Each structure stands twice: as structure tokens, then as C-alpha cells.
Amino acid sequence: MAGLRSWRRHIRGIVDQAARATLLLSRFERRMRRRPTLLMYHRVLSEALCEGYPFPSLAISADAFEQQVAWLVRRTEVVTAAEATQRMLSPGEPTARPVVALTFDDGYADNYDIAATILERHGVRGTFFLASDFVGEGRLLWYDHTALLVLANEDQRLFECAAFCGVERPSAQDLAAGRVLAWVEQLKRTETDVRTQWIAAVDADSPSLDRQNYRAMRPEHAADLARRGHEIGVHSVTHEILPLLSDEALAFELEGSREAIAKWAGVRGSGFCYPNGSHDERVVAATRASGYAYACTTTHPKDGAIEDMLLLGRVDVQRSRVSRPNGRFDLVAFRAEVCGLHEWLR
Ligand SMILES: [Zn+2]
């Protein structure tokens, strides 16, 4: 598996270099000037923490991130997502430089400690979508809690609790591919109450969990970010899978979160980000009715004009897509990812 991944990165590196040599990359980068691009990040961590992180697609190293920001500042106009979406509403001639916004989901402590510091060192600001229970109450996000429990317990115990609570077991094939992701994906398809029971049941007899690396920023950090010119957006209360919720629970996730965040950050978020990117027509309509000016998904932006400000795609800056076979950051791959060339080639 690792061999195949490394081989793919090797081939992709050759394709990227060819795209650069033939100016295909420049052509895609020029196209970016037609409308703003939103980038999606979750965590910015030290190289050592990135290596063992159970959700590899969600973490990027501080060093790689700094190189990304340095390049973006040189070659694009970096703005917040709120400003980028304002520009989407009044499209005109292509801008002199591509307009790009960096967005961060969830509200981890590293967003405040590392990401914001790097952004400011380069004179730009970002958009932070916060889950209000995670930041406000310091509760673990349910999938981080799940990851810690899966890593701390044998399959047998997880299966016993699953049978007790009525959670379906992940398939043997999914478990073989990765235990943490297999359980998290299974639980995403499970009703909230049942999932919560399973987590509580496993946690009850679990060895103690090291939560240190899964901490949220504190509410005062969110207020500080807002004061320093970053945008604070909303990412629900509990990071539930919204389409699974009742209308009442959905309204609470959309509005309770914005109110809580407004209390500590002093600003009322105008942007929402669907947890897990999960949405359906009802969720989008409720988000619109809640008065959000824009909302982000986790899917790649579609070509052409923006059809709905409540369904904005983002470029997912995943470590594996912007690094060489040896794991080092690859600037050409990053450029190919940001301008949509990788997506076009996929
Ligand atoms: Zn999230």
C-alpha cells in the first residue's frame, strides 16, 4: 500500500513538472483570476505529530504550511472567506492576481497557536470555522474521541460495546485498511444517540486517554483572533452530521453555535461550514433561513459561475497531495492542487 502511494506520488511529480514546463500550470493559475478560491485546512501540527496523526488527510506540518503561505502571499491576494465571497457576488474582469482565502475547520488549539501566527507573520488573515461546544466547553470532537478510544482498546471490546448499543460492526475489510477510519466512518452513518452511547460505553472502561493533542483553542483565543482581523465563522455546536438531525436539532446546531460564538468572540459569524461537508436540500434551506451569507462544503469547487453561495466548494489541501514520495513539501504539487490542475487530471 505504502509502495503504491509512493509510486503514485512519484508519477504525479513527473506530471506536475511536465505541466510546469509546458505552461499548463500557468494557464490554470491564470484561470484562477476569474473567481476567488477557498482553501480548506483543519490542523497545522509539528512534523512529528503529523506523522502519527490518525486522520492523515486533516493535518499538515507547520513547516509546509509556512511555505504555502509564503508562496500564496507572493503570487495571490490572500483575503478572508467573507471578503472572497463578497467578491464572488460581484464578478467582473479577472483580478490582477488570483484571490485566495484560507479556511480552517473545527477550532483546534493549533489553529490559534501555529496557523494564525504563521499567517500574521506573512501579513495575512484567515477564516476559522468553530464548533461551539468544542471551543466553548472544551469537549472532544466525537470523531477524535472515537479515534482515541479505538487506539486504546482491542477490537473485541469495541465489538462488545457495538453489540450492546446496536452499532453495526465495520467490515473486516474496512478494519484491515485502518481501524480508526473504519470505526469513524461506521459511526458517521449511525444515529447520534446510538453513537453517543457507544462512545460512553467504550469510554467507561477504557484506559485513560491522552487528550493533549486534540484540544480546542479557548473562547478567549477566538476573541483574540477576531480582534487581530481574522474571520470567525460557524461550524455547528457539536459537529453532528446535519442531515441526520430533526428540524429542531438542526436549528440548534445552526443558531445556537452562532450565538455562543458571538458571546465570546464578540462577532456574529456570517459564514457557516457544514460539519463533515454533509448537507442536503433541507440543511441548505435551514442554513439560508438562519441568515448565513455563505456556507462551505468539503467538495472541490465546480468550474464556472457560482450557483449558490450556500454551497461553496473548497480546495482540500491534503498533505499527501502536496508532498513528494519522501514526504517533503512539494511547491509545484501545491500549486497544481490550488489552481485545480490536479482535480482536472483526476
Ligand atoms: Zn469539521
pLDDT of 93-142, one tens digit each?
888 899 999 999 999 999 999 999 999 999 999 999 999 999 999 889 99
What are the structural domain ranges in the chain?
A: 35-66+74-139+212-313, 142-204
* Contact between 278 and 243 (Cβ < 8 Å): yes
Question: 35-66+74-139+212-313 in CATH: which number?
Answer: 3.20.20.370
* Contact between 100 and 36 (Cβ < 8 Å): yes
Cα-to-centroid distance, 297 and ligand 1 (Å)? 10
**Helices (H), strands (E): how many in the chain?**
19, 10
Cα-to-centroid distance, 145 and ligand 1 (Å)? 14
Cα-to-centroid distance, 40 and ligand 1 (Å)? 10
The whole-number pLDDT of residue 19 equals 81
> Which of 325, 321, 342, 294 minimizes the C-alpha distance to 103?
294
Cα-to-centroid distance, 326 and ligand 1 (Å)? 28
pLDDT of 294-334, one tens digit each?
999 999 998 777 789 999 999 999 998 999 888 889 999 99
Question: For the purposes of burial, counting CB atoms within 10 Å of the CB of 245, is it exposed (0-12), middle (13-18) or buried (19 or more)?
Answer: buried
* Contact between 341 and 333 (Cβ < 8 Å): no
Cα-to-centroid distance, 288 and ligand 1 (Å)? 19
CA distances from 164 to 145, 156, 200 (A): 19, 12, 12
Cα-to-centroid distance, 132 and ligand 1 (Å)? 11
Looking at the predicted structure, is the pLDDT value of residue 1 above 70? no
pTM: 0.93
Cα-to-centroid distance, 26 and ligand 1 (Å)? 32
pLDDT-based confidence at 2, cuts 50/70/90?
low
- Determine the distance from the C-alpha atom of residue 176 to the mean position of all C-alpha atoms in its chain, rounded to a whole number: 25
Cα-to-centroid distance, 235 and ligand 1 (Å)? 7
Cα-to-centroid distance, 176 and ligand 1 (Å)? 25
pLDDT-based confidence at 81, cuts 50/70/90?
very high
Cα-to-centroid distance, 275 and ligand 1 (Å)? 5
Residue ranges with CB less than 5 Å from ion ligand 1 = 105-106, 275
Looking at the predicted structure, is the pLDDT value of residue 221 above 80? yes
